Amino acid sequence: MHALNKNRPLRRVVLASAATVSGMVLLLALKPHTAPTPATAGTRPPAASSSPAPGSGPSSGSASGTTTATGDTVQTRWGPVQVRVTVRDGRLTDVAAVSYPQDNPRDQEINSYALPQLRREALAAQSARIDTVSGATYTSDGYRQSLQSALDSAGL
């Protein structure tokens, strides 16, 4: 007797449903083979000619009261984190991650959402008292420490 006997329509429906569900599970379990591209908002690589040395003090910009300072490099579990700040007229106007973990696709994925969020919070708070980004605890801690170092160097 055949499993899909025409006299047993319910058996046919059950087997077709089971095959459909199994196919969907297999399809959803597939992972893409391309690495995610990290977002670059607020994370500019240092310029070769005009960057201050890592951990250096403030460097004065124009006469308008602009100061740029690079914080200490903080070693985290997943790699170094370093932040550069720009202060104009006593206000924090820009924060950029100079170095951060990016050795593997997971690091790139985490930092593509964590670094822009940390930057926004630092600019809003005008200090290093910012929240930790969920899923990026080590990067957040390193970012906060390097940010405080840069703000200290800039005189804030």
Domain extent listing, the chain: 1-30, 59-154
Residue with the larger pLDDT of the pair 105 and 36 = 105
In angstroms, rounded to a whole number, what is the distance separating the alpha carbons of residues 29 and 60? 54
- Asked if the model's pLDDT at residue 31 lies above 70, the reply is no
Mean of the pLDDT values across residues 30-50? 48
C-alpha pair distances (Å), 44 with each of 5, 9, 39, 144, 155: 66, 64, 11, 18, 23
Residue 96's DSSP bridge partners are: 84
What the block records as the tokens of 77 is 């579990």
Mean pLDDT of the region 98-118: 90
- What are 93's two structure tokens? 């106007």
| Measured distance CA(34)–CA(11) in Å, rounded | 41
Query: Average pLDDT for residues 13-28, to the nearest whole number?
Result: 88
Q: What percent of the chain lies above the pLDDT cut of 90?
A: 38
Report pLDDT for 18: 92
pTM higher than 0.75: no
Distance CA 67, CA 60 (A): 5
Lowest-pLDDT choice from 4-8, 65-69, 88-92, 139-143 = 4-8
Statement: residue 16 has pLDDT above 60: yes
**pLDDT per position as a tens digit, 73-97:** 999 988 999 999 999 988 999 999 9
The residue among 91 and 28 whose pLDDT is bigger is 91
Per mean pLDDT, which range of 47-56, 60-69, 108-117, 143-152 is the poorest? 47-56
The answer to whether domain 59-154 has CATH 3.90.930.60 is: no
Q: How many CB atoms within 10 Å of residue 118?
A: 28
pLDDT of res. 117:
93
**Count of alpha carbons within 13 Å of 116, Cβ hemisphere only?**
9
- pLDDT for 154 equals 87
Locate 53 and state its tokens: 């040395």
